[in-house]
Amino acid sequence: MKTIAIINLKGGVAKSTTAINMATLLAEKYGKRVLLYDNDPQGNASQFFGCYDGGEDTCGAAEVLRNDIPLRWGKHRIDIINANISLLEADNALRVSTERQDNRIKEYLQVVESEFDYCIIDNPPALLMCTINALCAADEVIIPVMLDNWALDGVETIIAQVEELKALNEGLQIAGILLTNYRKTPENEAAEKWLREKCEYRVFETQIRRSDKVTAATYYKEPLEKYSPRSAAAVTYRKFVKEYLKDDE
Ligand SMILES: Nc1ncnc2c1ncn2[C@@H]1O[C@H](COP(=O)(O)OP(=O)(O)OP(=O)(O)O)[C@@H](O)[C@H]1O
Ligand SMILES: [Mg+2]
């Protein structure tokens, strides 16, 4: 099983959109066995898959932090560990725990390793204990970036954090930076050129295009591939997953 953390400490850069669409494409188009792990107390991916409020006053991601066995949900041929605001409570409890704090997600994923080909972890825009746990459990990170004025600062920050985390997880790799919500404007093209030239890490060739269908698909809780397969965002998410898999296999 390969574990990929979708991460950027900057908010609203399409982490959840990428996690949802990458996970469903890997499962539905490529027949991979996928675990989508919602690691964000906002629970946006869980809302999308209709399991934000799992009918209990806790959530799967909180149970993992407590070393309990989480319930798993299923939708669009993927398995889901859900998250909601109760994850914050478990995160705070772990932060003050005297036991080892960084290996809860890793230990859980070791248990389910043989059941899945990929685990995609959607992360919050903050360095919580659960985020550190995700980086300790991951083989790779994908960093979604929206090119606006402050995006490039965000890239440096998260890359520095990932490099630091290598002290705890030696094998952690940056799979690449993914440009999201992309429009061809002179400013974006200049920022992209700068990033591709200056960044020592891979910037995926594929840019995820901006499309109004993304918000609509979220409203109807449909992966882009189902809701609007010909939209620019769906086409480019397909292209991105193909690009990703080409090097992975
Ligand atoms: N390709 C796209 N085209 C148009 N809108 C997009 C695109 N990708 C993402 N968005 C929109 O941008 C907003 C932020 O996306 P998303 O929730 O995936 O970001 P996030 O990084 O997970 O945010 P957070 O940091 O809060 O978790 C959403 O409203 C989403 O619909
Ligand atoms: Mg999100």
Q: Could you state, in order of their start, the residue ranges of all structural domains in the chain?
A: 2-248
**What mean pLDDT comes out for the span 55-83?**
93
Which CATH class name applies to 2-248?
alpha beta
Judged by DSSP in three states, 6 sits in strand
Extract the tokens encoding 23.
């996970």
Which residue's C-alpha comes closest to atom 16 of ligand 1?
14
- From ligand 2's centre to the CA of 249, what distance in Å? 28
pLDDT at 236 over 70: yes
Determine whether the shortest distance from the Cβ of 218 to ligand 1 is under 6 A: yes
Q: Between these two residues, 16 and 149, which has the higher pLDDT value?
A: 16
Ligand 1 centre from 165 Cα, in Å?
26
Average pLDDT over residues 188-202: 92
pLDDT band at 55 (very low <50, low <70, confident <90, very high): low
pTM: 0.97
Q: 221 C-alpha vs ligand 2 centroid, how far in Å? A: 14
Which CA distances in Å does 240 have to 38, 144, 158, 194? 21, 12, 21, 21
Percent of the chain with pLDDT over 90: 90
Confidence label for 78 from pLDDT (cuts 50, 70 and 90):
very high
pLDDT score of 248 more than 70: no
Per-residue pLDDT at 138 exceeds 70: yes
In this predicted structure, the answer to whether residue 249 has a pLDDT above a threshold of 70 is no
Q: Is the pLDDT of residue 69 over 90?
A: yes
pLDDT (tens digit, 9 = 90+) per residue, 32-45? Answer: 999 999 999 999 99
pLDDT of residue 76: 87
Nearest-atom number in ligand 1 for the CA of 123 is 27
Ligand 1 midpoint to CA 85 (Å)? 19
187 CA to middle of ligand 2, Å?
A: 25
**Ligand 1 neighbourhood includes 47 CB (under 6 angstroms):** no
Question: What mean pLDDT is predicted for residues 108-113?
Answer: 98
The CA distances from residue 129 to 7, 38, 132, 186, 225, in Å, are 14, 14, 5, 39, 33
pLDDT at site 213: 98
**Residue 99 above 80 pLDDT?**
yes
Structure token pair of residue 192 = 């992209």
Residue 81 bridge partners (DSSP): 37
Nearest CA to ligand 1 atom 13: 12
Decide: 39 in ligand 1 pocket, CB within 6 A. no
Q: Looking at residues 111-136, what average pLDDT do you find?
A: 97
Q: What is the mean pLDDT of the chain?
A: 95
Any idea which ligand is nearest the CA of 183?
Answer: 1
- DSSP per position, 57-84: SS-HHHHHHTTPPPP-EEETTEEEE---
Render pLDDT for 149-190 as a digit per residue (tens, 0 to 9): 677 878 989 999 999 999 999 999 999 999 999 999 999 999
Ligand 1, from 9, 141, 214, 227: best to mutate by most atoms within 8 Å of Cβ?
A: 214
